[in-house]
Structure 1
Amino acid sequence: MGAVSPWRANALKKLFETIEKEELIALPDARKNAISEPLVEHYLNPFEIQSLYISPIVHHGKAVGILNVEYNVPNPNWTPSDTRFIKALAVVLGSLYANKETLKSKQLALVQKELAEQSAKMKAEFLASMSHEIRTPMNGILGMMTVLQQTELTSSQRHQIHLAQSSAESLLTIINDILDFSKIEAGKVEIDHVDVDLVSLLSETIESFALKAEEKQTLLEFDCRNLQIAQAKTDPHRLRQVLNNLLSNAVKFTEQGKIILTCYSEQNADETRLWCSVEDTGIGIAKEKLATIFDSFTQADSSTTRKYGGTGLGLSIASQLCELLGGSLSAYSKLNIGSTFTFYIVLKEPVAIEPIDNDALELVLLVPDHVATTSMRHVLAPWHIKTTLYHDMTHLLQHLQANPTSQSLLILDPVMLIESQDTASLKHTITSRQLAFAKISTSEHSQALLWQDLKPALDMLYPLTPANALMLYYGEPELQTQSDSVLHGHVLLVEDNKVNQIVATSLLTKMGLTVSVVEHGVAALQILAADHSFDLVLMDCQMPEMDGYEATSRIRRGEAGEHAKSIAIIALTANAMVGDKEKCLAAGMDAYLSKPLQFDSLKAAIAQWIRQASPVSPTRITTNS
C-alpha cells in the first residue's frame, strides 16, 4: 500500500493487520472502536464520520488499497445486499487497477520510450544553450556584488546590495532546479556515498533558515530525540538538497506559524533508514491537488506561482532524489491547516551515537516562554544529557544553587537578562564556577550583549540544535579556511566577456595574484608562447575565433611552447550540464568550475593547481586584446 512511515503504521496497527488479511471491516460506531480510535481526532470528528464499512482492494493476492464507505450516523442497518455490493465494487476497483497496470506495461511503454528519445536530444540542447546564456550575465551580476561587498559601504548600501544579491541567487536557484531536473531525467545524476556527520548536517541545514523564518514571524523547531545514528555513508549534497527544498517551501508558505523538522533513525533487519518530516502550519494543499504535487512543473494552483514564485520542479526533484537514495517522499496536507512532507533514505555503514558518560553534565536553558519548544527539553536526549528549561532568572539561580557540583552548560537569551534584576548574581555564578555558556537569540536581538566584560563561548540563533549544544560542551572547532591567506603566482585569464573579466580580475587580485587577460584562444596561445611567467590558466570554454576546448588541446600539443604543455588549466564554463566536465577533462583541462564564480571555490581550485612561485612584485593586471 505504498511507503507508510512506522509511526503511522503503529498508530493504526489493528486496521492495517485486518486489511492485510483481506477481511471486511464493519465499524458501526467507529468513534468507539479500537480499530478506528486513532482516527477520531484528526479524521472522524473533523469530517463528522460516525461509522465505516471498509473493504480491501486486492491485486495479485495483496491489498493495494481500500474502499472506504463513510456514514454520518452511527449503527446503520447494513444488510447482506450492502455487503455484497461493497465486495463487488472492491473487486471492480481491483480489476480496474490490474487493467491499468497491464496498460502501463504493454501499451504505454512503447509510447513513452519513443517520446523520451525524441525529446531528450532537443531538451539537452536547449538547456545547454539556456544555461550558458543565463549563467554568463549571472556571473557578472553576482560577481560584481561580491566585489562591492568587499569595499567600504554604508549600512543602507550594504542592505541594498544584500537584497539584490538575494534576488539574483533566487534566480540562480531556479536555473539550477531546471538543470537538476534535466540531469535526473537523463539518468545522469551520480550519487556519491561518503561519510557524513548526520547531526551536523541536519543542524546546519535547519539553522540556515533561521533568518528567513524570523522574517515570516514563524517559529522553527528541530526534534531529533529519536535519532540514534551519528554518522553514516550517504550523499550529503543530495540529502541537503531534499531538506532545503522542503524547508524552503515550508518557510515560503507559512506566515506567523510554526515549522518542525523531525528526524529519527529506524533499524530494520536488512537496512538502516533515516526518516525526516517537515511539518508546517502554512496554507496547506487542497485534497484534489495533493496527488499531482510531485509532478514536474506543477504547483497547487497558478495563483501560488504568482504570489510565491518557483518553477514547480522542486518537489519533483526532491522525490526523485529520495528514490535515488533508496527511499521515497510522501505528503499529507489539509487546506488552510498545514502540510507534512515525510521522506526516508537508506544509510550505509551507520555508526551509533555514543552517550556522554558524565553524570554531572546538564544543559540548562533560560529562554522566553513563547520560543520554548518541547524538542528543546530533549535536544541532547540521544547523548543521555538532561536538559532543564527556565523562563525566569529566579528559578534558574535556584537551580544552580541547588546543584553546586553539576557541570552546567548554560544557554541564555539576552532578552531574559534585560528583563531581570539578578544578572549580577548569574554572572558571579558563571565566573566563580567557570561554567560554559552561550547566547541564543533572534536576529532582532543578535547584537544584544549579555555582559560587556564576559563573552559567551558561542553566539547562536534559534532554533536550538544538538550540534550547537554539543559545541558548547566540546568547544568550537577551529575553522580551516583560506579566505584570508594570500596566493602568489601569475594567472592568465582567457575570457571574452568584459564584465566577467572585471569580476574575475577583481577576485584574483584580492587573492594576491598577478593577472593577465586575453579575449580568445588564439591570443592565449600567442601570449603563452611569448611569456614564460604564467603559473596557471583560467580558460573560458565558449569564445569567438577559438574556444577554450580547442585552445587547451593545442596547448597540450605544444603549440604554445614546450614550457606551457603541462601548465595547469582550469575551465570556466556557464553550461554546467551533464557531460560538460568530462568534455573539459577530455580536452586536457585539469579542473572545472561553473559560473557564477564563488570566491572560496575559485580560490580553493587555484590553490590546489597553481605552481607556488616565489613572491612576485605588487599585483598587476595586463590586458591583451
Structure 2
Amino acid sequence: MLTKSARILLVEDDEDDYIIARDYLEELNEYNFEIDWVSTPDAALEQLESNQHDICLLDYQLGAQTGLTVLEKATVMQCRVPIIMLTGQSDNVLDKAALDAGAVDFIVKSELDSPRFARAIRYAIARQEVQQERLERINVETQSRSKDRFLAHLSHELRTPLTSILGYTELLLSSEKAKPVTNELNIILNNGKHLLSLLNDVLDLSKIAAKKLELALSTFNLNSFLVDIYTLMQVSANDKGIELTLTSSTPLPEEIHCDPTRLRQILINLIHNGIKFTDHGKVSVSVKAKIEGEICVLYFYVEDTGKGIPVLEIDKIFQPFEQIEDTISRKETGSGLGLAISSELAKKLGGGITAKSIEGEGSCFTLSISCQNVKDTALSNLSLERKVIGENNTSLKPLTGRVLVVDDVADIRMLIGHIVGTFGLNVDFAENGKQAVKKAVTSIEKGTPYNAILMDIHMPEMDGKEAVVEIRKQGVEQPILALTAANMKGVKENLQTLGFDDVISKPVDKMLLHRYLATVINSNVQTKPKENDLSSIIQTTNQDKYFMLVEDDMDAAEITKLLLESMGVIVDVAHSGRACRQLLHTRPKWHKILLDVHLPDENGLVLAKYIASQGNTTEIVIISGAEIGAAEIKSSGSSRALMKPLNKQKLQDLIA
C-alpha cells in the first residue's frame, strides 16, 4: 500500500499523553506522519497561523486555559487546518461547544486505540486535501484573470502608440511633401506593421490557451480571396527572385462559409515561411476541394524548394516559441509563434496542418479546413483574375454629418479626426468621458445631435464604459462606436450590453471605419427614448434601490456595477468578505446583496449566513460559476443563486 505523508500539530501539555498519542498515530500504517509537538496555547496559535499542517490534535485542558480559546482565536485568524479536540472524558456540552467553535471532530483520549480515532484522522486529512485542491483551483483561476487583465492592458498600451505610428506614417505617404523621404517612411511603416503582427501573435496564442478565441464566420468568394493572397505574397517572392504559383487540382466552390480573417492568417503564414526559407527555386500553392454532403473540405498544399527541415526537428515546429535555427545566429526574423498559432487556428476551422520535408530539398505543408458548403453554390476552376473588385481609397463614398471623436491621447484623437474628415464629415473632439457626456447632451438640447460618436474605452476622469452608460441615461440614442485594443472573447458583447452599438479595434482600419460610419449614419436613429423602453422604466422605478455587489474580480465587478447603474440602481462594491462586513452597516437597509461565493478571504455562503443574521437586507443573491445545491442556498440564508457570467437580461430579471 502506498503511504501518504501528513504533517500533524499535536497540542498537549502532558508529555505522557503526547507520547501515547504519538504511538497510536504511528500505528496508522497508511500514513507517514511528521509530528510537531507544542504545549502552550500561544505556541499552538503561532503554528496554526502559518497554515502549514494537515491536521491539528488539540487537548482541551491546557494549564489554566482551555482548547476552546485556541479554537476561537484560530477561527478569527482564518486558520485552514482541521482541528480535532482531545478530551479526558465524554461530555456532550463540551463536545457541542468544541464543534461550534470550529473543531471538525472530538475524541476521548481513551478512544485513541479505537477505529473511531483512525476514521477521524482519515476524514480530517481528506477534508484538508479537498480544501487544498479548492484553494489551488481558486489560485489558478485568479492567476488566469490576472493574466487576462495584464494582456488587455498590454494590448492597450502597445496598440495606442502603434496607432499613431502607422496612422501618421500612412498620412505622410499620401502627402506630396513626403516624396523625398518615401523610402524612409515605408521602412517605418513596414517595421510598425511587423511589430503589430508580433503583438497579435502573442495575444492570439494567449487567447487560444485561455480558450477565448472566437471565429467570425461569413460567406465570401473563394476565388477572389485566394487571388488577393496570391497578389500580396507575389511581391515578397519577386523581392527574393523566386517564383510563386497558385493552382487548383479540382474545381472549387465559388463561395464558402468560413472565417476569412483566420484562413487568410494561416495561408499567409505558410506561404511567407516558404518564401522566407527558399533562396532559389519556387513556392507552389495548390488547392483541392472535396465535397462531403453539406460539408466542403478544402486542402491547401504549400510546397517550397528551400533548405528543408531536419527529421529530428520537424515535430518541434508547431510548438510555441520554437525556431529551428539558433536565435543569435539565424538570419530570419519572427517570434516563433506563427506555425503554433496557425496549427491551433486550423483545428478551430475543423482541420489541421501537417508537414513533410527533406533536408536540402524543400518542404510541403498541408492545410485542411472543413466549412459548410454554401447551398447551391457553383463549382468553377480557379482563375487568377479577380471576380470581385475590392474597395480602395478612391472608391469611398463621401459621407455627410457630424461625428464626435473621444480619446484622451491627442495624437490618436487628431489622427482619427483627420481620417473621419477625409470622408467628408465634420468632426468635433472630446478629451475624456465627462467632456463627451456634456457635448453629447448639449448637442441634443441645441437640436444638432451628432450622427455618430467614436469613443475610446480607457480614459482618465471618466472612461468610455462609464460615459456610454451616462450618455444613454440622458436619452441620447445616436450610434456610439467603441474604439478599443482589447479584443478578447466577450469584450464586444459586454460593450454592446452597456450601450455601444459596435466595436472597432485599434489600430483603426480606414476602410472598416468608413464602412461602419456609412452604415450607422444612414440608419434612422431616434433621439428620444421610447415611452415603453424597458431601460427607461426600470431606471425611473429603481432610483432609490440600493444594491451591494461583493465580487473580488475587478473587471467583473466593474461591468456588473455599470450594468446595474444603467438600470437606475445605486450600487456599492466590496471586493472581499471583510470589506462587505464593513460596508454592511453603512446603510439601514439594502434591497439586494449580490454575493460571489468565492472570495479571497471568506466563503460566500458563510458570509451570507452572517449577513442574514444582521437583518438589514431584503434579499441575498449568491453569484457562482458552478451549480450550488438548493439546500446550501437555503441554509446560507440566501434566496437564490445566479450563474456567471451575469448579463443585462439576468440583472433586469433580478430587479423585476
SS of residue in 1 equivalent to 2:495:
helix
Match in the other structure for 1:237? 261
Match in the other structure for 1:606? 517
Query: Residues of 1 paired with 2:252 and 2:214: CA distance?
Result: 27
Deviation string, structure 1 residues 257-303 (Cα, Å, up to 9, x no partner): 31000111234579542111111122322222111111112221333
Question: Structure 1 residues 271 and 311 mapped into 2: Cα distance closer, same or farther (>3 Å)?
Answer: same
SS of residue in 2 equivalent to 1:610:
helix
Q: Does 1:508 align with 2:420?
A: yes
Matches within 5 A, 1:524-543: 524-531=436-443, 532=446, 533=448, 534-543=450-459
Query: Residues of 2 paired with 1:272 and 1:529: CA distance?
Result: 52
Deviation string, structure 1 residues 600-622 (Cα, Å, up to 9, x no partner): 11111111112689xxxxxxxxx
Deviation string, structure 1 residues 141-195 (Cα, Å, up to 9, x no partner): 1111122123214644233222211111111111111222122222223334433
Query: Residues of 2 paired with 1:527 and 1:260: CA distance?
Result: 57
Query: Residues of 2 paired with 1:586 and 1:331: CA distance?
Result: 44
One-letter code of the match for 1:543? M
Query: Residues of 2 paired with 1:480 and 1:157: CA distance?
Result: 24
Deviation string, structure 1 residues 440-459 (Cα, Å, up to 9, x no partner): xxxxxxxxxxxxxxxxxxxx
Question: Structure 1 residues 115 and 317 mapped into 2: Cα distance closer, same or farther (>3 Å)?
Answer: farther
Would the aligned equivalents of 1:254 and 1:281 in 2 still touch at CA under 8 Å? yes
Q: State the Cα distance separating 1:545 from its structure 2 match.
A: 0.5
Would the aligned equivalents of 1:494 and 1:537 in 2 still touch at CA under 8 Å? yes
Would the aligned equivalents of 2:214 and 2:489 in 1 still touch at CA under 8 Å? no
SS of residue in 2 equivalent to 1:311:
coil
Q: State the Cα distance separating 1:319 from its structure 2 match.
A: 0.8
Match in the other structure for 1:557? 473
Match in the other structure for 2:13? none
Match in the other structure for 1:623? none
Consecutive unaligned residues of structure 2, counting only runs of 5 or more, are 1-133, 525-656
Match in the other structure for 1:32? none
Match of 1:491 among 403, 419, 434: 403
Question: Structure 1 residues 555 and 351 mapped into 2: Cα distance closer, same or farther (>3 Å)?
Answer: closer
SS of residue in 1 equivalent to 2:322:
coil
Query: Residues of 1 paired with 2:328 and 2:439: CA distance?
Result: 54
Q: State the Cα distance separating 1:353 from its structure 2 match.
A: 8.3
Match in the other structure for 2:461? 545
Match in the other structure for 1:591? 502
> How many residue pairs are counted as aligned between the two chains?
388
Query: Residues of 1 paired with 2:373 and 2:325: CA distance?
Result: 42
Matches within 5 A, 1:257-276: 257-267=281-291, 271-276=295-300
SS of residue in 2 equivalent to 1:259:
strand
Match of 1:466 among 361, 378, 383: 383
Query: Residues of 1 paired with 2:477 and 2:329: CA distance?
Result: 51
Question: Structure 1 residues 349 and 116 mapped into 2: Cα distance closer, same or farther (>3 Å)?
Answer: farther
Match of 2:220 among 188, 196, 203: 196
Matches within 5 A, 1:106-117: 117=141
Query: Residues of 2 paired with 1:232 and 1:485: CA distance?
Result: 28
Match in the other structure for 2:276? 252
Matches within 5 A, 1:420-459: none
Match in the other structure for 1:121? 145
Q: State the Cα distance separating 1:336 from its structure 2 match.
A: 3.0
Matches within 5 A, 1:69-84: none
Match in the other structure for 2:490? 579
Match of 1:288 among 302, 305, 312: 312
One-letter code of the match for 1:222? L
Q: State the Cα distance separating 1:243 from its structure 2 match.
A: 0.7
SS of residue in 2 equivalent to 1:544:
coil
Q: Does 1:345 align with 2:383?
A: no
SS of residue in 2 equivalent to 1:308:
coil
Deviation string, structure 1 residues 544-589 (Cα, Å, up to 9, x no partner): 100010011001111xxx4xx2021111112223332122212211
Match in the other structure for 2:122? none
Q: Does 1:176 align with 2:207?
A: no
Would the aligned equivalents of 1:212 and 1:251 in 2 still touch at CA under 8 Å? yes
Query: Residues of 1 paired with 2:294 and 2:472: CA distance?
Result: 51
Match of 1:151 among 175, 178, 183: 175
Would the aligned equivalents of 1:266 and 1:272 in 2 still touch at CA under 8 Å? yes
* TM-score normalised according to structure 1 size: 0.57
Which protein shows a greater Rg?
Answer: 2
Query: Residues of 2 paired with 1:128 and 1:506: CA distance?
Result: 27
Query: Residues of 2 paired with 1:501 and 1:523: CA distance?
Result: 14
Query: Residues of 2 paired with 1:611 and 1:270: CA distance?
Result: 37
Deviation string, structure 1 residues 27-47 (Cα, Å, up to 9, x no partner): xxxxxxxxxxxxxxxxxxxxx
Question: Structure 1 residues 230 and 529 mapped into 2: Cα distance closer, same or farther (>3 Å)?
Answer: closer
Which stretch has the larger CA shift, 136-145 or 321-330?
Answer: 321-330
One-letter code of the match for 1:598? D
Would the aligned equivalents of 1:489 and 1:611 in 2 still touch at CA under 8 Å? no
Query: Residues of 2 paired with 1:322 and 1:244: CA distance?
Result: 13
Query: Residues of 2 paired with 1:479 and 1:172: CA distance?
Result: 23
Q: Highest relative contact order (Cα 8 Å, sep 6+), 1 or 2?
A: 1
One-letter code of the match for 1:136? T
Match in the other structure for 1:519? 431
Would the aligned equivalents of 1:494 and 1:517 in 2 still touch at CA under 8 Å? yes
Query: Residues of 2 paired with 1:272 and 1:482: CA distance?
Result: 36
Q: State the Cα distance separating 1:250 from its structure 2 match.
A: 1.2
One-letter code of the match for 1:530? T
Question: Structure 1 residues 130 and 288 mapped into 2: Cα distance closer, same or farther (>3 Å)?
Answer: same
Consecutive unaligned residues of structure 1, counting only runs of 5 or more, are 1-109, 356-381, 384-464, 614-625
SS of residue in 2 equivalent to 1:209:
helix
Would the aligned equivalents of 1:275 and 1:342 in 2 still touch at CA under 8 Å? yes
Q: State the Cα distance separating 1:237 from its structure 2 match.
A: 2.1
One-letter code of the match for 2:417? T
Q: State the Cα distance separating 1:209 from its structure 2 match.
A: 0.4
Query: Residues of 2 paired with 1:114 and 1:246: CA distance?
Result: 39
SS of residue in 2 equivalent to 1:191:
coil
One-letter code of the match for 1:132? H
Question: Structure 1 residues 113 and 191 mapped into 2: Cα distance closer, same or farther (>3 Å)?
Answer: farther
Question: Structure 1 residues 594 and 306 mapped into 2: Cα distance closer, same or farther (>3 Å)?
Answer: farther
RMSD after superposition: 3.0
Would the aligned equivalents of 1:569 and 1:590 in 2 still touch at CA under 8 Å? yes
One-letter code of the match for 2:358? K
Question: Structure 1 residues 286 and 113 mapped into 2: Cα distance closer, same or farther (>3 Å)?
Answer: farther
One-letter code of the match for 1:557? K
Would the aligned equivalents of 2:213 and 2:488 in 1 still touch at CA under 8 Å? no
Query: Residues of 2 paired with 1:236 and 1:308: CA distance?
Result: 27
Query: Residues of 1 paired with 2:329 and 2:261: CA distance?
Result: 27
One-letter code of the match for 2:383? P
Query: Residues of 2 paired with 1:269 and 1:545: CA distance?
Result: 57
Would the aligned equivalents of 2:244 and 2:284 in 1 still touch at CA under 8 Å? yes
Deviation string, structure 1 residues 362-390 (Cα, Å, up to 9, x no partner): xxxxxxxxxxxxxxxxxxxx65xxxxxxx
Would the aligned equivalents of 1:522 and 1:551 in 2 still touch at CA under 8 Å? yes
